[in-house]
């Protein structure tokens, strides 16, 4: 019996120690630091209560960044999921249909492998790659536009406050669609074929089949996808920092980048922690709201 206790302790204490020092304690300290005016360099700091949060409410830069996260939150999940569903259903039932029924498209495996490429690359590579893609003279985007005679459209994509944010959003969509195609097409494969055959026999168009049959049956997967894309939308830090660094003139700033700059460029660690706490509650609220809104009866087969 004592041997068993010792065994449990030997196996559990090292992971708990590592986890406690580097994960639990920082999360706990974050709330505490958020209530101080700590600048990091000074050994002393004062507890200033909720002042940091009051300051947050009047911070134009924070609201500007938050607005961009809000736009991402509204558009990124919807566009990515719609594209993902579209391509996944093309792969699952886009093939020929004959007396035997509906078929997957030929080369489905190939598409699934290729679509997944951005998912295995690091955000750093994707960020640097697209920064070069958008470059005004040497970039591939403008090179293509000039090649087809649209010289007028070949603008400085990242240097123009009107476009920079949308360019970043396009990259976020580009890098995420493939994963959800794979995810949705795996979910669609578990739908019995004869349901599609029945629908087609009844004269349903492919669009109707997608909306009325496929979507309800993969609804659980769509929900999970939405939550993960929402988390990506609230973050967005790495891609924005690498591609535009929030510029020009804060036109593509996001909250994560605000936090990073407030802490490690301005040294206002107390205030930066307050931004972190705000982000945490934002994430919680969005997740809770979403789960409430989309609760829907499960479709049983």
Could you say whether residue 237 binds another protein (CB under 8 A)? yes
Q: Are 217 and 88 in contact (CB under 8 A)?
A: no
- Please state, in angstroms and rounded to a whole number, the distance separating the CA atoms of residues 180 and 80: 8
- Please state, in angstroms and rounded to a whole number, the distance separating the CA atoms of residues 275 and 126: 27
Closest to another protein by CB, 58 or 202: 202
Longest dimension (CA), the chain: 80
- Please state, in angstroms and rounded to a whole number, the distance separating the CA atoms of residues 255 and 276: 9
Could you say whether residue 213 binds another protein (CB under 8 A)? yes
Could you say whether residue 106 binds another protein (CB under 8 A)? yes
Closest to another protein by CB, 62 or 179: 179
- Helices and strands (H and E) in the chain: how many: 16, 2
Could you say whether residue 130 binds another protein (CB under 8 A)? yes
- Please state, in angstroms and rounded to a whole number, the distance separating the CA atoms of residues 203 and 258: 54
Could you say whether residue 242 binds another protein (CB under 8 A)? yes
In the complex, what is the shortest distance from the CB of residue 10 to another protein, in angstroms, rounded to a whole number?
Answer: 8
The single residue among 139, 164, 240, 252 that binds another protein, judged by CB under 8 A, is 139
Phi-psi region of 95 (alpha: psi -120 to 50; beta: other; left: phi over 0): beta
Closest to another protein by CB, 75 or 223: 223
Could you say whether residue 224 binds another protein (CB under 8 A)? yes
The single residue among 67, 71, 156, 283 that binds another protein, judged by CB under 8 A, is 283
The single residue among 45, 53, 166, 260 that binds another protein, judged by CB under 8 A, is 260
Could you say whether residue 253 binds another protein (CB under 8 A)? no
Could you say whether residue 112 binds another protein (CB under 8 A)? yes
Question: Pattern 163-202, binding to another protein, x per CB under 8 A?
Answer: -----------x--xxx--xx--x-----x-xx-xx--xx
- Write b or e for each residue in 187-212: b if 16 or more Cβ atoms lie within 10 A of its Cβ, otherwise e: bbeebeeeebeebbeeebebeebbee
Could you say whether residue 300 binds another protein (CB under 8 A)? yes
Residue 13: count of CB within 10 angstroms of its CB: 11
Could you say whether residue 45 binds another protein (CB under 8 A)? no
Place of tokens 């009325």: 212
The single residue among 76, 233, 263, 286 that binds another protein, judged by CB under 8 A, is 263
């Amino acid at each position: 019996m004592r041997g068993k206790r010792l065994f449990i302790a030997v196996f559990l204490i090292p992971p708990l120690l590592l986890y406690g020092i580097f994960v639990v304690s920082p999360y706990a300290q974050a709330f505490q630091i958020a209530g101080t005016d700590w600048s990091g360099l000074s050994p002393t700091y004062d507890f200033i209560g909720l002042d940091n949060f009051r300051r947050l409410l009047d911070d134009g830069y924070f609201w500007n960044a938050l607005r961009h996260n809000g736009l991402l939150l509204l558009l990124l999940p919807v566009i990515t999921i719609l594209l993902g569903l579209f391509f996944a259903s093309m792969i699952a039932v886009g093939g020929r249909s004959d007396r035997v029924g509906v078929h997957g498209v030929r080369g489905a495996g190939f598409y699934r492998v290729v679509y997944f490429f951005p998912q295995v690359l690091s955000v750093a590579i994707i960020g640097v790659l697209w920064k070069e893609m958008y470059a005004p003279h040497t970039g591939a985007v403008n090179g293509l536009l000039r090649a087809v005679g649209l010289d007028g459209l070949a603008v400085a994509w990242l240097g123009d406050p009107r476009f920079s944010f949308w360019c970043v959003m396009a990259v976020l969509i580009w890098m995420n669609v493939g994963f959800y195609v794979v995810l949705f097409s795996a979910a669609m494969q578990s739908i019995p074929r004869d349901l599609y055959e029945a629908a087609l026999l009844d004269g349903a168009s492919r669009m109707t089949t997608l909306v009325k049959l496929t979507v309800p049956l993969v609804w659980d997967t769509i929900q999970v996808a939405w939550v993960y894309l929402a988390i990506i939308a609230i973050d967005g830090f790495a891609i924005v920092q690498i591609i535009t660094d929030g510029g020009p003139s804060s036109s593509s700033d996001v909250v994560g980048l605000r936090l990073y700059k407030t802490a490690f460029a301005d040294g206002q660690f107390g205030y930066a922690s307050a931004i972190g706490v705000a982000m945490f509650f934002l994430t919680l609220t969005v997740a809770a709201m979403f789960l409430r809104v989309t609760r829907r009866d499960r479709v049983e087969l």
